[in-house]
Structure 1
C-alpha cells in the first residue's frame, strides 16, 4: 500500500471515529465518477469493512451534459468493481427558478444534495460521504473571498456538518488532488474528468470555481514554489476555530433576544461590545430576517453605522426598515 493510500485510509478512519459512527451504521457515498470520489470509495470500502459499517454509493446524473447518463453508469460499474455492490444512479433535474436566481452550478449542487438526502433517508443511512479534497478547500476559500467581504469566507468547509438530521462527512480535506490521482493510478481505477472543471485550461466560459483552480490556484502554487494550497487549507482550519469562539461570544451577547418582527434590542448593549463581537451580532440579527447571504454582508455595515451614530433609519432588503429609536434598535416591515 502506497503512502498516499495509507494517508487516505487513515483520514477516512479518523473521520469515521470523530463522527462517532458505530458498527452496523449505514453510509451513503456520493460519487461523480471523478478521481476524488473514486479514491474515497476505495478508502471508505476498506474502512467500512474493517469497522463493520454498511457502505452504499450513489451517482447523481443531472442530465445537463451530453452523455451524462453513460458517464454515470460507468461510475456505477467502477464502484461495483471496488466492492461497493449497492451502487446506483440517481437521475434528477434542475429547478428552473433556482437556475435563474443562483445559476446552473448552484442549482445543480442543490438538486444533488436533495437527491442524496432523499436516498440516504430511504436507505436509513446515518451519513453521506463527500469527496472534497484539500484542493477543493483552497478553491472554496479563494472563491468565497472574491464573492463576500466577510471573515466567514476564510473558514472553508468543515469535515462534519449536518443537514436534515443527516451527517455530511468530508474525510479527504487533508488530501490533495495529486494524491487522489495517485491512489486511482495505483489501484488501476479509471476516472472521468468533468470538462467544466477545466483541468489546466483557461477558457473564459468555465465556471468561476474552475477558473480559480486552473488560473489562480495553479499560479499561486507556481509563484510560492509549492505549498500555497496546503497553507490556505491550514489557515482555514485555524480561522474556523477563531470564528467558532467569536460567534459563541456573539450568541451569548444576544441571549434573550426574540427574533420576530418587530425586532427590538437595546442599542447601547450592542454598541458597547468590542467591534468583532458587535459585527457578528449584527450579522446574526440580519440572518434571521434576510435570506440572501450577499445582501446580509452588504447591510452589516449599514447596521454598524447606525449603531455608531446612535440614531437614524435605513431601508434593508426584503422590505425591512432598520432604525434606532430611543435606546432600542428596531427592525420592522416598511410601511410604504
Structure 2
C-alpha cells in the first residue's frame, strides 16, 4: 500500500521510540522486501490497546514497524468492565489486532476499586490498567509496552496538572518513557495528533470505538455536562475555548511547553537523587521500629540546599510512604527545616505527621511517634 504522510510520520515516531530502548533491526534480511517471520526469541513489543482510535492506530503502526525490524509485536486489551458491552468492545479490539498480525493478543478483565486510589474513578481505572499491563508484560517477558497518548492528550494533561499542583512538574506533562515495577513504557505518539490517529485508522481500515464518557459523540457547540470526567471536559470545552481565545493551536503550544519543562524536571530529579540518598533514611533502614513505615530527614543536610531541591526531596520522602500529599504539606515540612522556632508537628493525610526533634524530622503515622 502507499503510505500517507501521517502514516509515514507515525512510522518514524514508533521507530524512534523502539530505538530509544535499544530495539533495532534484528537481521539484514528484514531490510529486504517481502514478509519475513521474526525469530521466536526476538524481542516482544506490546501495545496497550483500548479499541479507541489512538491505540488502534498505534497497534497498526507498531505492527508495520516491528515487521520492518524483525521483532515480535503483540497487544494487551484491558477491559475495565465499567460500561455495558465492554467485553464486546474488548473482543472487537482483539479481533482487529489479530487481523493486523499482532501476536499474542491478550484480553484482561480488571476490577476497578475506587477505594484503592482515593482519588476517584479515573485514577482507580488507571491504577487497575497499569497493574494488568505490568502483569502481562512480565508474564510474556516483553521488552517494552507502547502507550498511545497523543499530543492532544499531553496538552490536556498539562492543563489538568496546572489545576491540581504547582511548580515545573505541573508543566512537564506525561513522560515520553518511564519504568513501572520493572516494565518499560514508552509513548511514541506524543508528537502525533488525534486528527492524525483518526486518519491512520482510516488508512488502515480500522474501526475504532468512541468511549461515550469522552464526549466525542456530543455536539461540539455545547459544553460537556459537569458530571463528565474532567479530562473529557478539558478536551471538548476548555481547549476549544482557549484555541478560539488565543487564535492559535493551543494544544501544540502546551505540548511544546511540556517538552521543555520535562527536561528541567529531569535535571532537578537527578540533582535531588544525591541529596535524598544522604538526607533521608526510610523505615527499612531504621532499626528501632522496622515494622512501621516512616522516614527521617536530616535537617542540617537539607537546610542549605536550594528550595527546589529541598522540596523535591521532601516530596519524594512522602511519596515513598504512600502519603497523598499536596504542595502545602511539603512547604509546611520545609518550614520545620528553615524556619524552626519550636512549632508543633505537621499533620499529613493518611494519619501521618511530621515532627522535628533536634536535627531530625520524623515522618510517621500518628501514635507511633512515641512508640519508637
TM-score above 0.5, yes or no: yes
TM-superposed deviation, 1:46: 0.8
TM-superposed deviation, 1:330: 4.2
The question of whether the paired residues in 1 share the 8 Å contact of 2:168 and 2:264 is answered with no
TM-superposed deviation, 1:307: 2.5
The question of whether the paired residues in 2 share the 8 Å contact of 1:11 and 1:172 is answered with yes
TM-superposed deviation, 1:106: 1.5
Give the count of matched residue pairs: 333
TM-superposed deviation, 1:273: 2.2
Correspondence for 1:297 among 327, 342, 359 = 327
Alpha-carbon displacement from aligned partner over 1:21-56 (angstroms, at most 9, x marks no partner): 254101111111111011111110111001111011
CA distance in 1, matches of 2:193, 2:201: 13
Q: Secondary structure of 2:317's partner?
A: helix
Identify which range, 236-245 or 145-154, moves more after superposition: 145-154
Q: Which has the higher contact order (CA 8 A, sep 6+)?
A: 1
Identify which range, 318-327 or 37-46, moves more after superposition: 318-327
The alignment yields a C-alpha RMSD, in angstroms, of 2.2
CA distance in 2, matches of 1:328, 1:38: 52
Q: Secondary structure of 2:282's partner?
A: coil
Cα 1:120/1:284, change in 2 over 3 Å: closer
Q: State whether structure 2 residue 347 is matched by structure 1 residue 316.
A: yes
Cα 1:62/1:322, change in 2 over 3 Å: closer
Q: Which residue of 2 aligns with 1:76?
A: 94
Alpha-carbon displacement from aligned partner over 1:68-106 (angstroms, at most 9, x marks no partner): 11111211222223222532422222235327x232222
CA distance in 1, matches of 2:304, 2:110: 50
The question of whether the paired residues in 2 share the 8 Å contact of 1:313 and 1:321 is answered with no
Correspondence for 1:2 among 1, 4, 20 = 4
TM-score scaled to structure 1, two decimals? 0.91
Correspondence for 1:135 among 142, 149, 152 = 152
Cα 1:253/1:85, change in 2 over 3 Å: closer
Counterparts of 1:232-251 in structure 2 under 5 Å? Answer: 232-251=254-273
TM-score scaled to structure 2, two decimals? 0.83
The question of whether the paired residues in 1 share the 8 Å contact of 2:148 and 2:188 is answered with yes
Q: State whether structure 2 residue 108 is matched by structure 1 residue 90.
A: yes
Correspondence for 1:15 among 14, 17, 20 = 17
Q: State whether structure 2 residue 206 is matched by structure 1 residue 206.
A: no
Q: Which residue of 1 aligns with 2:138?
A: 121
More helix by share: 1
TM-superposed deviation, 1:264: 4.6
For structure 1, which runs of at least 5 residues remain unmatched after alignment?
Answer: none
For structure 2, which runs of at least 5 residues remain unmatched after alignment?
Answer: 27-41, 287-293
The question of whether the paired residues in 1 share the 8 Å contact of 2:112 and 2:128 is answered with yes
Q: Secondary structure of 1:93's partner?
A: coil
Q: State whether structure 2 residue 282 is matched by structure 1 residue 259.
A: yes
Counterparts of 1:215-226 in structure 2 under 5 Å? Answer: 215-226=237-248
Q: Secondary structure of 2:344's partner?
A: strand
